[in-house]
Structure 1
Amino acid sequence: MAAVIKTANEIEKMRVVGKMAASVLEMIGPYVKKGITTDELDKICHDFIRTELKAYPAPLNYHGFPKSICTSVNHVICHGIPTDKKLKDGDIINIDVTVRFDEDSTDPDHPTGYHGDTSKMFIVGKPSILAQRLINITQECMYKAIKIVKPGTRLGDIGAIIQKHAESHGYSVVREYCGHGIGSTFHEDPQIVHYGRAGTGEELKAGMCITIEPMINAGRRESKLLKDDWTVVTKDRSLSAQWEHTLLVTEDGVEVLTLRDEEELPRLIKHA
């Protein structure tokens, strides 16, 4: 299946839902503290998406996923299911949010629409030096990749820049899970892997919407899927971090559709 090039109308819808997804992560930050459960964080996000945004949490019931957000704590790489376990001082947690919205949808309970997909690392209390460094390097990996996105950039260029930065700091890149095209479908082509060789792979084209979401481990890259068929952990129990943005490939660069106000990254990055 080929990558989907968005129309001008679809791009506007992606901008709207991208800002919505960003607002969820901005909203939830003050709640991420010692003693709260990831179930409680899930409920707060769910209620905000449904009541305040009048949108729908795309993960809920997606291929059977039971919750509205993913909460991946410490050695959980991705797809962590919210539970009644309380967060403790020093925990690191990735909150992954995908909002589905279309103002033209006629069914508010099961709307069709477009998807804004984004995640952020949060720290409970004071992190270890190792955890803080891992979080910072992983975010740098994502930013470095975003900054080279433009028509003609190859998927291998994205993977290579992430892999080089992570491995230069002694970290490893998870290979089983990747970024993806996104739009009216949650996961579209192409797949955006976070390792690879520059100059290889499909070329990006203006009008494509993709996610870049590197998963970086403090230890080895191998992962393990738990018996719930969702939660992915590091096989060696080392810490893992992830950041994610939804992006639009523009005629001369990239637009970060899920940018938060706290970030120093420009929303529009242009290349000569």
Structure 2
Amino acid sequence: MPELPEVETTRVGISPHIQGQTLHQVVVRDARLRWPVPTDLAANVEGKPLRRVVRRGKYLLFEFDHGAIIGHLGMTGSMRIVNHEEPPAYHDHVDLVFSGVTLRYRDPRRFGCILWQENPVMAHVLLASLGPEPLSDEFDVAHLLRACKGKKQAIKSLIMDGKQVVGVGNIYANEALFMAGIHPHRQAGRISAERLDRLVVCCKQVLSAAIKQGGTTLRDFVDSEGKPGYFKQQLQVYGRAGQACVTCDQHLTESRLGQRSTVYCKRCQR
């Protein structure tokens, strides 16, 4: 599933081509996404200038003066800049047609979404309860201490909870906890402030590094130009169950936590 770095990579790739441009046409070939594409989407945005493209967690917001298109890539979605003449493929469900280029949304499994929200955009039910961005100053040790206080919840589950901090998905939670030396199953309320401070730093480091590399290639992710990400080459634990720890050579352990694959080193993480 595309996570925060993949979504940010997409935003950076598509923004220069469409920001400030007038959206001339919305083409919906298949409205049956996770939630149906609104029937009045075209009426709301055609002929209007797109002011900017921003990211909130894993959502892309295409902001107009009066509202925003909310996009999510789901599990297998992508958004690419293509020429008007490029014929759509079978899973190309929605086009946003600008003067010189088309933004094309592809989603084989149709778990993503293309929605519309009038101002205030952040009042939308998908956005209203989101926690701070992990790369922002709001996500600091004081915030994480408050979130963890008295919690028996596993720390990995807590940092993947979008109400506590938004966008730290499974891949990067595994990596950040390994970098911080924290066992993913440890109760959040039993971790010291010093170690939580280290975890905040590691979350920021691993996400920043992944964004710089263009995201992680697992199966389906490609960036706005159809190119894969390369952060997978730097993964230290995720996808490496049974292999040697890069620090101590202990075989890495895999378990399930919140129905997600969790890989860690029993020796290095406590």
Q: TM-score, normalised by structure 1?
A: 0.30
- Of the two, which has the highest radius of gyration? 2
